[in-house]
């Protein structure tokens, strides 16, 4: 059973471009969470999704950020018109329900 | 919302000594408290957790204590080894994995 898979591991985008981050949860897990980690800081909750539903997006910036978890395929975190302040590590976690979550290795986004 | 404070931010111990990391939380409704270890360039890895109906839990060299009244919980690592060096995060969970993390403790174990 493979762990949580995130890709790409590293992503470089120029200001104004779009960034797409992918997360494939562990087999059998229907709950996905996205977190952002700035250098030397802790993880900040962004969004909680179940298949085809956004359950809690209280940590998502109001503009430019969106997330989805379609019926088929990975969860996608999309950042439009990226700015330098979006540079961070983005982690995805999955769980089968009300139990511990398992994290992926993260995607390190650099905006130049 | 929930607020989790974690201390110290950095901790250096000699190999074989114990390390203690402390956290406080603000929302009394939080009922699940995981601890994560994050090595450089990797994602957080769950190392131990405790639920609000338990006061203490131990797993080999790692133990966690929880004081619900005072709303604080601690991680204890005994007989530290160089491979314990990492950043450790405490967290508080209100019930559906909307986890609020502490700011992390960078632990260095000196051989």
Residue of B nearest to A58 (CA): B98
Chain B residues with CB under 8 Å of A35 CB are 101
Q: Would you state the structure tokens that stand for residue B53, as one six-digit string?
A: 């109906």
Check CB contact of B23 with chain A, cutoff 8 Å: no
User: Vertex B91, ends B10 and A8: CA angle to 5°?
Assistant: 85
Matching residue, tokens 């999309």: A78
**What is the rounded average pLDDT of the residues A58-80?**
95
Q: Do A41 and B103 touch (CB under 8 A)?
A: yes
pLDDT (tens digit per residue) in A75-86 = 999 999 999 999
pLDDT (tens digit per residue) in A15-56 = 999 999 999 999 989 899 999 998 878 889 899 999 889 998
- Interface size A-B, in CB pairs within 8 Å, comes to 54
Q: Are B53 and B66 in contact (CB under 8 A)?
A: no
Strands A43-50 vs A31-37: parallel, antiparallel or unpaired: antiparallel
Residues of chain B short of pLDDT 70, as ranges, are 96-97
Whether omega before A2 lies within 30 degrees of 0, making that bond cis, reads no
Above 80 in pLDDT, residue A112? yes
- Rounded CA-CA distance A6/B38 in Å is 16
């Amino acid at each position: 059973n493979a762990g949580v898979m995130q890709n790409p591991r590293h992503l470089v985008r120029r200001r104004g471009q779009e960034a797409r981050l992918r997360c494939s949860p562990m087999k059998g897990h229907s709950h996905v969470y996205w977190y952002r980690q700035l250098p030397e800081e802790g993880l900040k909750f962004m969004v909680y999704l179940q298949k085809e539903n956004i359950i809690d997006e209280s940590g998502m910036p109001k503009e430019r950020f969106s997330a989805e978890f379609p019926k088929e395929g990975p969860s996608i975190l999309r950042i439009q018109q990226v700015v330098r302040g979006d540079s961070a590590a983005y982690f995805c976690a999955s769980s089968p329900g009300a139990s511990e979550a398992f994290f992926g290795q993260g995607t390190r986004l650099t905006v130049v | 919302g929930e607020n989790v404070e974690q201390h110290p931010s950095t901790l250096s111990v000699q190999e074989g000594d114990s390390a203690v990391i402390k956290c406080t939380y603000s929302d009394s409704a939080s009922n699940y408290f995981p601890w994560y270890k994050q090595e450089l360039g990797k994602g957080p890895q769950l190392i131990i957790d405790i639920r609000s109906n338990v006061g203490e839990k131990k797993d080999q060299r790692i133990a966690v204590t929880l004081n619900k009244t005072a709303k604080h919980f601690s991680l204890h690592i005994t007989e530290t080894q160089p491979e314990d060096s990492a950043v450790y995060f405490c967290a508080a969970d209100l019930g559906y994995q909307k986890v609020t993390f502490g700011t992390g403790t960078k632990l260095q174990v000196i051989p």
